[in-house]
Amino acid sequence: MAAHKGETNTTQPSLPLHNLHPFQYFCILDDMPMNFFKSFLASCLGSLVAFVLAFLLLFGLLAGMIGAAVSDNGNDGKVPINDNSVLHLKLDVPITEAEIENPFAGLPLPGATEHAISLLEFKRVISAAADDPKIAGIYLDISMFMSGFATAKEMRESLLAFRKAGKWVVAYSETMSESAYYIASAADKVYLNPEGDLEFNGLSVEVSFFKKLLDKLDIKPEIFRVGDFKSAVEPFMLDKMSDANRLQLNELITGINNEMIKEIAASRNIEESKLKEVSDKMLATTLYEARKHHLIDSLVYYDQVLADVGKRLGVSDENDIDFVKYNKYKKSVSGYKTSENEIAVIVAEGEIMPGKAEPGIIGSSTFAKEIRKARTSKKVKAIVLRINSPGGSALASDVMWREVTLAAKEKPVIASMGDYAASGGYYIAMGANTIVAEPNTITGSIGVFSVLFDMSGFLGNKIGVTFDEVKTGDVGELMTVTRPLTEQEKRIWQKRTDAIYETFTTKAADGRQMNVDDLRKVASGRVWTGTQGKERGLVDELGGFEDAVKIAAQKAGVADNYRVRFYPKQKTFFEQWLNDLEENAETTMLRKELGENYQMIEHIKKIKSYQGAQARMPFELKIR
């Protein structure tokens, strides 16, 4: 039996410690001899000191390794580049707008994944390489591309500009996806492994539908929308595409595919109609047929590619080829030019939500603050909004729109659209003085929907939780998942949704200087490519980020003297690393606890994010 405080018996308890009540455990410790505590505390202190010293030692060792790699023989972080070097571009990595430097990339540490590549930084680096006499050419290594077609186009154009500078690009891989080949087709020579694979059969879109899942879970969506094409809610109410959604998706990917075919045909010197036939009918089923139709130049092995590169450099031994990796080379490239005149580039990438920005989240309070700072700063002469977003919260979009319109009254504001600038993403852009989009940017989707989920069936029938409500008037809690909405409450939600659409279209028409009725003819939630958007007055110019910066500088009268700075300030690698570790730990625990039910929980979490009024793209696009 356990001894308690006040008793004289100080012998060991007969029960093991883990079987005792916490209070009993406390009482036992309180009665133990003092020398036990001294030993125990000394042991804890020693362990703590050892842990701290080990951590500092490990950190110092890693810092030394990284410092040595970065400084490259003590050159203060500036990496020396040898003459006749070849820039090795491996593009099978995530492509983002902004970049967070990862000093542990390549090391065997949790979170030390391969570098993501910033599109905007990539364009600057390739431009520098084109002017660098030490870089003879580019070896392009790409099999899968992890971004959209507008991003692919901008990267492709950088490679074409590199070639126009009189330099060469050689592309080689064992396999290539459609989008990877699109980029590789900008090279002088496109090589594939004889036993590899090439995908060249046009584009397709796959949309996920959750109606049957919701039926099984006894969850009922309550949907309010404006616009025949605002189909973001279709996955919750249908098990296949509506005719309207099928129409817009077909026209969208046809437009993107036609643009891609046109550019590949020009680069490969193939008749456009012939190339389209090869794509539509998948005539290049094998690599030998791909070579026959001039999609690729040769089927070779890696050593043969090295022989080709060596010949271009004038060396006979492949060991004499000096390859320099992208992440190393960019350390040798000077930063953006300095000037007292600043073009502020505010990067908006991800889903639009109220509050602070996080990776993958455009937080309205963060971005409104950044736009406000740029507007009031005397050194900022113009603002470029770099937008890559499918939309999100209607309220958050409007908060940022307000700051954009205020800034546009005082200095030039140019919107530069990436892969997506749709719905809420377009809402932000429409307040700018000029909108610039790539031909295959996905934009428009001017529409609004509201959705709530009646989970009373799931809660009551599946897990046995019920709710009841007391209210003072006819209308109860409008944002609820514990009961179905009343008919009166449904009318309120539809009225609110209609009002937001009215606001969206009125402000869009004002920003685009269009008649509201004309604007609504191209709204109704429908998405367009950048080319289609320009034809309909939703876009001013077709072009990329650099074009937007040049327009901003010209409108500000500083075309010959300006510098570019990016906002908001990105999280440091360590901040993001710790955040990722925490998220990964939580995910691992959930997977372990829930097993096969984990995916169901993930779907429910995603459903929750759709609650309320949304200015969101009408589908989640997965182009293959």
pLDDT of residue 36: 44
The 3-class secondary structure across 209-272, one letter per residue, is CCHHHHHHHCCEEEEEEECCCCHHHHHHHCCCCCHHHHHHHHHHHHHHHHHHHHHHHHHHCCCH
Question: How many separate helices (H) and strands (E) can be counted in the chain?
Answer: 22, 22
pLDDT of residue 593: 61
| Whether the predicted model's global pTM rises above the 0.85 cut | no
Residues in the chain with pLDDT < 70?
A: 1-78, 100-114, 335-336, 570-624
d(CA 407, CA 537) in angstroms, rounded, equals 22
How long is the chain? 624
Q: Which residues are catalytic?
A: 230, 423
pLDDT of residue 153: 96
Q: Please give the DSSP secondary-structure letter assigned to residue 65.
A: H
d(CA 118, CA 105) in angstroms, rounded, equals 15
Give the burial string for 39-78 (b: 16+ CB within 10 Å, else e): eeeeeeeeeeeeeeeeeeeeeeeeeeeeeeebebeeeeee
Report whether 422 contacts 390 (CB < 8 A).
Answer: yes
Q: Which long-range contacts link 309-315 to residues 24+ away (Cβ below 8 Å)?
A: 309/86, 309/137, 309/139, 309/170, 312/136, 312/137, 312/168, 312/170, 313/84, 313/86, 313/136, 313/137, 314/84, 315/84
Per-domain boundaries in the chain: 85-200+284-332
CATH of domain 85-200+284-332: 3.90.226.10
pLDDT of residue 29: 35
